[in-house]
Structure 1
Amino acid sequence: MDYWGPIQLKPPHRRAAPTKAYVAVFVCFATKAVHLELVGDLSTAKFIEALRRFVSRRGLCSEIYSDNGRNFIGAANELRQLVKTKGHNQQIAQECADNGIQWHFNPPKASHFGGLWEATISSAQKHFVRVLGTHTLAYDSMETLLTQIECCLNSRPIVPMSDDANDYEVLTPGHFLVGTALKAVPDNNVIDIPFNRLRQWQQTQKLYQQLWKRWHLEYSSTLQTRTKWYNPPVHLQENQLVIIKDENAPPMSWKTGRIIQLHPGDDGTTRVVTLLTPTGRYTRPVSKICLLPISSPLERNESLTCAKST
């Protein structure tokens, strides 16, 4: 886990100065699921409150990795002292001892040790800062926006559900959190409406839609890998599940399709494919489709066979 910020919050009344807040980012090592918590400051007490909210919603974790920040060290010491307190309820103390959290701190001045959560922060923070700009939101509006951003990050496709030609579903981090794919509440498109003409809740949705449009296109581009000449090329195969890039897709919408036909050129390179989707057949260039981050076992075996043959 790590922090990003500070971010500016709208004051309770006009004459007050904007207040600062931070975002606590929790990333699961196993499923890459993301959890965001709005924190009022960098004190130990606020971090423990964020940690308790995280544990209450996601469950108790066995290990936590973090930077060597003073607030994290203070939280670990305070939790340890709480368990050792004689006046603490014996049952709760026993439960904490049985399910104690083992805390791992990175070495000082070694932020590169946390590459997993640093990449997660980078993927969302830079778009969040650009979209938010000089706008300030109230605490509850900012919390709503961060929760929707968390939902977007946890909706990204990871691997096909199956190799069935009629199955277009993909596994996402949201499946590990709620048991199914995460859904968004349908909303009107307010991206092109000026900010000052929108109500407070519509302003939050405008920022959310702008961030989705930026982030999902960038994430799709990272899945279109380009290999050097000394690496085996990416082999497209029939019946392979791919993501279809759509610049106008609404939030939380990932269009998928199965490749049913390859159209290689005179040089043998495939630049056009025919896709089968739940809504029909489409012909798309290879630049408009993306492979999933993790392929199915059948696709990996076939790719390995093609690489050995070449």
Structure 2
Amino acid sequence: MGDLPTARVTVSRPFLRTGVDYFGPIYVRPAPRRPVVKAYVAIFICMCTKAVHLELATDLSTDKFLQALRRFVSRRDRCAEMFPDNGTNFVEALNKLQDFLKLLRNSKHHDIVSKELAEEGIQWYFNPPSAPHFGGLWEAAVRSAKTHLLKVVGENPVSPEDMTTLLAQVEACLNSRPLTPMSDDPNDLQPLTPAHSLVGESLQALPEPNLEDLPTNRLNHWQLMQRKLQDFWRRWRREFLCQQQGRAKRWKPAVPIGIGQLVIIQDDNQPPMRWKMGRIIQVHPGGDGTIRVVTLKTVSGTLMRPVEKICILPFADNTELQDATADSHQS
């Protein structure tokens, strides 16, 4: 593992440096007796404080993303840097994400968004393709919100107002998670949470009766939405607590990576008995000198991949490999 990026360890106000991603779809009904439509959730997470902000996007268009961005900036202030996911980590075979992939790969979308952000003084940074772990901070937030929210909501459509309310309450749950102790005082039982950087103290929910044991057919509309929130809280809390129980890992020396090596490129869409091969033509070492991204030459052109997405075949001569890599670093 590499060192944390600069945006993660630089002290700043909340959401000055922000990661952004989408998840979904969720289903909403704009009005009674209207057809159900797909909607998505834009998730913004502060790189420094880990605070989360959720916005509903009724479709996957550039205009809706810019509207969600405007609402986010209006509530959380303008950020200086944004780190979106590249989007190519999604598997194209998943029909639910086809529209999302088209949006992310649309050059016109990138041009419009980049122009809008440039006018606001916001710098836009992309991760390398097929490297979701480079955005581990917001990927973890996406998992926390998406996995259980989609299970709780399911494919039952709700109104946009109900979904906006539910997302705001889910956002409050995520921002209430403990990060670290406030002090070394044994009598101080208050943990530091992302909400402390937003409102100065931990968030407090309005008291609601426990509805988990009541049949859903006995609940009115508001109680049904609160039941969904309580189900989300129960599921997510258990997962969060399990994640805090870290386990040690046995480390091994890194495999030498250099120019000229033949590799197998991991591709989930390859048909049986087909292997996507590539040759390393350029390495991209990080600030600590460790190579985590490489440029590959394939039959269809060149592409960048993280080293986790390649399988290195045995190299004939380690001396030639080291000399080629050293020449690349010098150049």
TM-score scaled to structure 2, two decimals?
0.60
1:118 to 136, 139, 157: 139
Say whether 1:156 aligns with 2:141.
no
Amino acid across the alignment from 2:212: I
Deviation at 1:83, TM superposition (A): 8.3
1:23 to 41, 44, 47: 41
1:58 aligns with 2:76: yes
Post-superposition CA distance 1:152-207 (Å, at most 9, x none) = 00001111111112211111000011111111011111112222321211111000
Superposed CA deviations along residues 102-141 of structure 1, whole A, max 9, x for unmatched, are 0001233433332221111112211112222232211100
Give the Cα separation in 1 of the matches to 2:183 and 2:55: 34
Number of the residue aligned with 1:2? 21
C-alpha distance in structure 2 between counterparts of 1:83 and 1:175, whole Å: 28
Q: Is the contact between residue 26 and residue 154 of structure 2 (CA under 8 Å) also seen in structure 1?
A: no
Deviation at 1:17, TM superposition (A): 2.0
CA deviation vs aligned residue, 1:252-302 (integer Å, no higher than 9, x gap): xxxxxxxxxxxxxxxxxxxxxxxxxxxxxxxxxxxxxxxxxxxxxxxxxxx
On the 8 A contact 2:62/2:113 being kept in 1, the answer is no
Amino acid at match of 1:41: D
Alignment of 1:95-174 (within 5 A): 96=120, 100-174=121-195
The residue number in structure 1 matching 2:230 is 209
Aligned counterpart, 2:58? 40
Structure 1: 5+ residue stretches without partners: 85-92, 231-310
Map of 2:207 onto structure 1: 186
Would you say 1:200 and 2:221 are equivalent positions? yes
Q: Which amino acid aligns with 1:78?
A: I
Instruction: Give the conservation status (yes or no) of the 8 Å contact 1:25–1:37.
Output: yes
Distance 1:112 1:152 in 2: 24
**CA root-mean-square deviation:** 2.3
The letter for the 2-side match of 1:219 is F
Mind listing any 5+ residue stretches in structure 2 that lack a counterpart? Answer: 1-19, 88-101, 252-331
Q: Distance in 2 between matches of 1:53 and 1:161?
A: 31
State whether residues 38 and 59 of structure 2, in contact with CA within 8 Å, keep that contact through their aligned partners in structure 1: yes
Does the Cα contact within 8 Å between 2:117 and 2:123 map onto a contact in 1? no
Counterparts of 1:250-289 in structure 2 under 5 Å?
Answer: none
- Cα distance, 1:21 vs structure 2: 0.5
Asked whether the 8 Å contact 1:45–1:75 carries over to 2, the reply is no
- Change in Cα spacing, 1:21 to 1:228, as seen in structure 2 (3 Å) is closer
Match of 1:78 among 77, 87, 112: 112
**SS in structure 2 at match of 1:108:** coil
Q: For 1:7 and 1:61, locate their aligned partners in 2 and report how far apart those are by CA, in whole Å.
A: 27
Q: What letter matches 1:19 in structure 2? A: V
2:182/2:188 contact within 8 Å kept: yes
Report if aligned partners of 2:26, 2:155 keep a CA contact under 8 Å in 1.
no
Please say if residues 114 and 124 of structure 2, whose CA atoms lie closer than 8 Å, have aligned partners that are also in contact: no
Cα distance in 2 for residues equivalent to 1:74 and 1:45: 12
Matched-pair contact (CA < 8 Å) for 1:174–1:182? yes
Secondary structure (helix, strand or coil) at the match of 2:217 reads: helix
Name the amino acid aligned to 1:186.
Answer: P
Question: SS in structure 2 opposite 1:105?
Answer: coil
Counterparts of 2:127 and 2:117 in 1: how far apart (Å)?
Answer: 24
Question: 1:261 is matched with which residue?
Answer: none
Q: Answer whether contact 2:28 2:158 (CA < 8 A) is retained.
A: yes
Aligned-pair distance for 1:2? 0.4
Task: State the distance in 2 between where 1:223 and 1:197 align.
Answer: 37
How far does residue 221 in structure 1 lie from its aligned partner after superposition?
A: 1.6
Aligned in 2, Cα 1:81/1:124: closer, same or farther, shift over 3 Å? closer
- C-alpha change, 1:119 and 1:207, in structure 2 (3 Å) is same
Q: 1:190 and 1:26, CA in 2 relative to 1: closer, same or farther beyond 3 A?
A: same
Q: 1:130 to 1:200 in 2, by over 3 A?
A: same
Offset, 1:63: 0.5
* Residue number in structure 2 paired with 1:89: none
